[in-house]
Homo-oligomer: A and B are copies of this chain.
């Protein structure tokens, strides 16, 4: 069944007018007619069944019925990703949503060669992926920030797993299970890797755990998916 994220409060009997592009999707793309059912979620009130009660070209309206699932958020996991090329960054956002990241923090590092990006577009990709993956919230995409500034203000209670290509660090699956439960994050560098002095600085930070993702060179999207997978499998909600 189609799932839509809406900003509205959700409760039995509520009336929801989907955004124009959502309305077009329901009626023009998916060809739903009055009486069709969809699922709605807003990140706060759980998931609700809703019935299409108006399906006009200009206006769609949904009547909220019964709740199908109470609100439940996944583990408190952030992805910190250096800005990479647009297509790969969009893939990473989609995958972060599927793999249950709660926030994506875009980082500018020494070797980042892009320092701007279209955050509203990335947020839309995250929302669509959240709708399809069945989660009840949408990952928040934050504006790009310089990595050193981001980590200057880092909450030390949030353990940052640094996927380190430098060598001499333990395999991810040796290090991760030893970390305490609680908020976490994974950090993936840009396509050219971190600068050596950046790597040294990162390894010395008290809230950082450096881990290896194996003997082969991984592209940034592969590394992000692998790291989120291992975190969820070892510390998150895959157990």
Chain A residues near B (Cβ < 8 Å): 74, 91, 94-95, 98-100, 132-135, 171-174, 212-219, 222, 225-226, 229-230, 232-234, 236-239
Q: Are B232 and A229 closer than 8 Å at their CB atoms?
A: no
Q: Are B216 and A172 closer than 8 Å at their CB atoms?
A: no
Nearest-neighbor residue (CB-CB) of A214 within chain B:
B238
Contact flag A100-B229 (CB < 8 Å), given A95-B222, A171-B239: no
Contact flag A225-B214 (CB < 8 Å), given A173-B234, A219-B98: no
Q: Select which of B132, B172, B219, B237 is within 8 A of A214 by beta carbon.
A: B237
Q: Are B173 and A216 closer than 8 Å at their CB atoms?
A: no
Report B-chain residues with C-beta under 8 Å of the C-beta of A74. Answer: 215-216
Nearest-neighbor residue (CB-CB) of A218 within chain B:
B98
Report B-chain residues with C-beta under 8 Å of the C-beta of A100. Answer: 214, 216
A150 to chain B, nearest CB (A): 26
Q: Are B237 and A215 closer than 8 Å at their CB atoms?
A: yes
A212 to B91, CA, bound (A): 23
Q: For A171, A174, A218, which residue has the most chain B Cβ atoms within 10 angstroms?
A: A218
